[in-house]
């Protein structure tokens, strides 16, 4: 089991990339290659390949983890802040892919929304993220991931979090309730492989769930950082709190496959080694170089190939999302 809840793969799971290589060397038309690769994936998935399940779920979870960062715990004043990028009814969608060489297999669609709400009479933000596999894969491997986070507007403190995911028959559930009076995090967790349990973990200032971390970091001022700076972060996943970091990589012009060109800020994310991710700084994020810091693309290397999430649509943003067209 790795940081993203993926189970260890069976030997058959390694056969997918090998088969794609064989297809590439025996066919010349890229569209034919993609079609055949999709058919092969369906056959492998129908044989319950656990690693392929993780490739799909990793795409979804990689995007959710893309902006998890915060300053050091001692810097309390930098954690309690207003978040300028938020607007009511923000809606952002992504297309998720498995990529190897020139093979691009679209795997899932991902939706992020934000709205106003209240929690125990406290004015709050309601963040939602949903990941869904494409319909053509549902018969063999169905993904329905849902994440919700409620964060107090004053001080931007997480209050409540729910994760309810279904990935190819593998179910996972997390519920977190933050207690700032007692400096503790109440955690309920259950998966298809692990029974229901309750944990209470001590937390420090600026401990986030994946969704609140995304929006907190979208509000950071990257102009105060230099290339190579390391920014530590803590994130609650399953029944643990992990301390990792991001490394700021500077600014870069990013051109997407459809010809859109964005000015971006770029950074890498430290990952925990597991059955899908290699560990190290193998996740890279490109976000719009404006106060909104909308994630444009996320790429995470896996054992063979990579998974990518690419911006599709963005509505009701607080700041206009500008790009050039090639």
Q: CB 222: neighbour CB atoms within 10 A?
A: 18
Low-confidence ranges of the chain (pLDDT < 50): 1-58, 61, 65-78, 274-279
pLDDT score, position 16:
34
Q: Do the Cβ atoms of 49 and 12 come closer than 8 Å?
A: yes
C-alpha pair distances (Å), 21 with each of 35, 100, 103, 106, 145 = 14, 9, 10, 18, 30
Q: What is the pTM of this model?
A: 0.76
- Residue 38: strand, helix, or coil: helix
* DSSP structure string for 64-126: HTTT-----TT-HHHHS---TT--TTEEEEEEEEEEETTEEEEEEEEEEEEEEEEETTEEEEE
Pair of tokens at residue 72: 């050091």
pLDDT at site 219? 77
Token pair in block for residue 245: 């970091």
Among 325, 289, 238, 321, CA closest to 61: 238
Task: Name every residue whose Cβ is closer than 8 Å to that of residue 95 and which is 6 or more positions away in sequence.
Answer: 106, 108, 109, 110, 309, 310, 312
* pLDDT value for 4: 39
Which pLDDT score is estimated for 13?
Answer: 32
pLDDT at 109: 93
| Residue-level pLDDT at 271 | 60
């Amino acid at each position: 089991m790795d940081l993203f809840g993926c189970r260890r793969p069976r030997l058959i799971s390694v056969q997918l990339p090998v088969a794609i290589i064989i297809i590439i060397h025996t066919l010349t038309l890229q569209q034919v290659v993609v079609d055949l690769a999709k058919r092969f994936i369906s056959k492998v998935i129908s044989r319950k390949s656990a690693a392929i399940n993780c490739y799909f779920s990793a795409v979804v979870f990689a995007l959710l983890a893309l902006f998890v960062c915060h300053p050091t715990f001692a810097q309390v004043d930098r954690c309690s802040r207003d978040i300028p990028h938020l607007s009511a009814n923000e809606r952002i969608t992504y297309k998720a892919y498995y990529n190897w060489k020139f093979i691009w297999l679209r795997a899932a669609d991902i939706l992020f929304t934000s709205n106003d709400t209240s929690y125990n009479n406290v004015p709050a933000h309601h963040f939602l993220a949903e990941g869904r596999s494409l319909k053509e894969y549902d018969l063999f491997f169905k993904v329905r991931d849902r994440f919700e986070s409620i964060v107090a507007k004053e001080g931007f403190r997480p209050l409540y979090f729910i994760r309810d995911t279904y990935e190819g028959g593998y179910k996972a559930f997390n519920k977190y309730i933050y207690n700032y009076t007692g400096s503790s995090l109440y955690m309920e967790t259950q998966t298809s492989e692990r029974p229901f349990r309750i944990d209470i973990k001590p937390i420090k200032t600026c401990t986030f769930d994946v969704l609140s971390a995304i929006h907190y970091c979208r509000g950071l001022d990257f102009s105060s950082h230099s290339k190579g700076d390391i920014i530590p972060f803590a994130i609650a996943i399953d029944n643990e709190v992990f301390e990792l970091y991001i490394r700021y990589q500077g600014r870069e012009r990013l051109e997407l496959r459809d010809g859109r060109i964005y000015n971006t800020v770029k950074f890498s994310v430290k990952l925990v080694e597991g059955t899908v991710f290699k560990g190290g700084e193998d996740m890279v994020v490109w976000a719009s170089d404006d106060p909104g810091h909308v994630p444009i693309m996320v790429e995470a290397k896996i054992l063979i190939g990579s998974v990518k999430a690419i911006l599709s649509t963005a509505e009701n943003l607080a700041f206009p999302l500008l790009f050039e067209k090639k």
